[in-house]
Amino acid sequence: MSLDPPPYLGSLQNNIRQRPIPWDGAARAGTITEAQLAKIRAVDKVKREQRKQVVENDLDGYRILFVGETGTPGVLESASKRSDVVQYILVLLGDLLEGVPALAKALFKDLDPYHHLLPLLAHSNNSEDPIPLLTSTVITTLMANSKDESPATKHALPLVLSYLCGLAKNSSDAGLQDIAVMEYSSLLYGQSSRQLFWKQRSETVSPLIEILRRAAGVGGESSASLWSGNTTMRSGGFEGLGGGVGLQLLYHVLLVLWQLSFEAEDIGNDLDDEYDIILLYTQLLRLSPKEKTTRLLLSTLNNLLEANPSTLLPTAVLARLPAVLQNVSGRRLTDPDLQEDLEKLKEMLEEYQKTKTTFDEYVAEVQSGHLRWSPPHRNQVFWAENSRKIFEFENGEILRKLADIMKKPWENDKAVLAIACNDIGCLVREVPEKRYQLEKLGLKTRIMELMQDSDENVRWESLRALGGWLKYSFEDN
C-alpha cells in the first residue's frame, strides 16, 4: 500500500535533491571513486524513465555502488565523513528503490545490504541531523519493496522499529509521528514483520494506542474513563482534535492497527487485555464522522471479533458496540466494503446476543477488569441462581479477577470498588459456607480496609459486605 510521503519528509528530500554537490572535488579528494561518480551521474537529475532503464541494465553495478562487495566499499562507506554526500546518496537511493522495483531484490544478492545503513540510524544525538530519518526511510523502502524475510531483515527490523518508536512517542511533533506511523505501515507487509512488531509492542503499539486515546478524549486512566463514560465528547468528531491529533495522523494509526489485526487469532485477546481495544474502538467509532476512519475501525473490529468470538463478543456487548453500530447504520455511507463489514458485525453480535445469558454478561464484565452498575449487580434473583456458578467457574477465575480489581485504588472511578464490595457481599450471603475461599484471596482484609475509604459509597458497600461476614461468623459460633 503506497502512501504519499508526509509533507516534512517530502520537503526535506526535495531540499537535498536541489543542493549542488561538488562531485568532481569529492572524487579528487578520494571521498568517492571515479567509478562511483560515473554511476551516480548516470542516474542523477535525469528523467525517470531514463534512470529506470540505466539501473535495470546494470543492477549488479548499482548493487555494488550502494552496498559494495569484498574489496570494494559501497559509496555510503566511502563517503561516511561527508554528511552532505551521505544525505544526497540516501535520497538518491530512496528514489531509485521507489522508481526501479528490481533494485530492491538485487541488493539482497549481498548477504546483508543493511550493514552500512544500520549504523546511520544512530548517526548523531543532534535531533536536527536528517541522516537517521533518511536512513529509516531507505531501509523501510528496501524492506517493503523486496518483501524480504531473510535473516538479515529479521535482524534489522527490530532496530528500525526501535528508531521509529522514538519518533512515534514525540507527541510535540505530529509531523515526525506521522512519518513513523507511515513507515510502520510499509513494514507490516507479512506475517513475520507483524509478529515482530507485536513482540516489540511496548515500543510500537503502546504509543499508537496513546494517540488513539487522546483522539477519543480519554484522560490518564484510559480504561476507567471509557468504561465510566467520563470522556471528553466532541460534537464535531475528529475535526480539530484535542491532544494534538490530526485526522491524517489518526487515519495512519488506524491503518497500522488494521494491518496488525490480520494476526487477530494469535494476538486479539492480548490486544484487548492490555489495551482495551474493543472499548476504545467503540468510542472512536461513535465519534468518527469520516468514512475512511469508520471503514478502518469497522474492518479491524470485524477481524478481531471474527477470530476471537468466545472472548471478545461478550466484551463488545458490554462496551455497547451494538448500539453504536445501529447509530453508524443511520449515517450516509457510500463505501461498499464499509457497509459489508458493518452488516457482518451486526449479524455476529445479533447471533451472539440470542444465546448469551445474564451470567455470560457478568463474566464478561468482570473479565474486562472494570465494573459498572449493570443490572446483575443489584438483582437478587441473579445472585440466588448464579453465586455457586461464580465460585466454580474456571476453578475460581472470577473470584481471582475480583480480587485483582479490588487491589487497585481506582482514584478516578471509585464506583468500581463500591460495586466489587456489593458483589462480594452477595456471594457471602448466598454461599456463606464458601466464604473461606474469599478470605484466602485477601478479600475480607481488603473490604475492612475500604471501610476507611474517602468515598462514602465505598464505605457503605464495604460495611454491608462485612456485615454479612460477621453475621455468618456469629452463627457458626
Instruction: Report the candidate in 288, 211, 287, 289 with the shortest Cα–Cα distance to residue 244.
Output: 211
**Confidence at residue 4, expressed as pLDDT on a 0 to 100 scale:** 67
% of the chain exceeding 70 in pLDDT: 92
**Confidence at residue 223, expressed as pLDDT on a 0 to 100 scale:** 57
Could you tell me if 172 and 131 are in contact, meaning their C-beta atoms sit under 8 angstroms apart? no
Alpha-carbon 406 to chain mean position: 28
Q: What is the pLDDT of residues 27-45, one digit of tens each?
A: 999 999 999 999 999 999 8
Sign of torsion over alpha carbons 202, 181, 156, 266: positive
Identity at 152, one-letter amino acid code: A
Range scoring the smallest mean pLDDT among 120-134, 155-169, 241-255: 241-255
More confident residue, 209 or 471: 209
**Confidence at residue 233, expressed as pLDDT on a 0 to 100 scale:** 45
Asked whether the predicted pLDDT for residue 247 surpasses 60, the reply is yes
Alpha-carbon 277 to chain mean position: 9
End-to-end distance of the chain based on CA atoms, in angstroms? 72
Q: CA gyration radius for the chain? A: 29
Instruction: Report the candidate in 148, 106, 160, 137 with the shortest Cα–Cα distance to residue 6.
Output: 137
> Whole-angstrom Cα distance, residue 376 to residue 381?
9
Instruction: Report the candidate in 449, 448, 376, 370 with the shortest Cα–Cα distance to residue 415.
Output: 370
Instruction: Report the candidate in 107, 159, 108, 106 with the shortest Cα–Cα distance to residue 132.
Output: 159
As given in the structure block, the three cell numbers for residue 256 are: 497500522
Q: How many other CB atoms sit within 10 Å of the CB of residue 14?
A: 11
- DSSP element (H, E) containing 323: helix 321-329
As given in the structure block, the three cell numbers for residue 419 are: 460495586
Asked whether the predicted pLDDT for residue 410 surpasses 60, the reply is yes
Asked whether the predicted pLDDT for residue 415 surpasses 50, the reply is yes
Q: What is the pLDDT of residues 268-293, one digit of tens each?
A: 999 998 899 999 999 999 998 799 99
Q: What is the pLDDT of residues 186-239, one digit of tens each?
A: 999 999 999 999 999 999 999 999 999 999 887 544 455 565 555 544 444 444
Asked whether the predicted pLDDT for residue 243 surpasses 80, the reply is no
> Whole-angstrom Cα distance, residue 75 to residue 37?
9
pTM > 0.75: yes
Question: Cell 468510542 identifies what position?
Answer: 283
Instruction: Report the candidate in 337, 199, 174, 332 with the shortest Cα–Cα distance to residue 252.
Output: 174
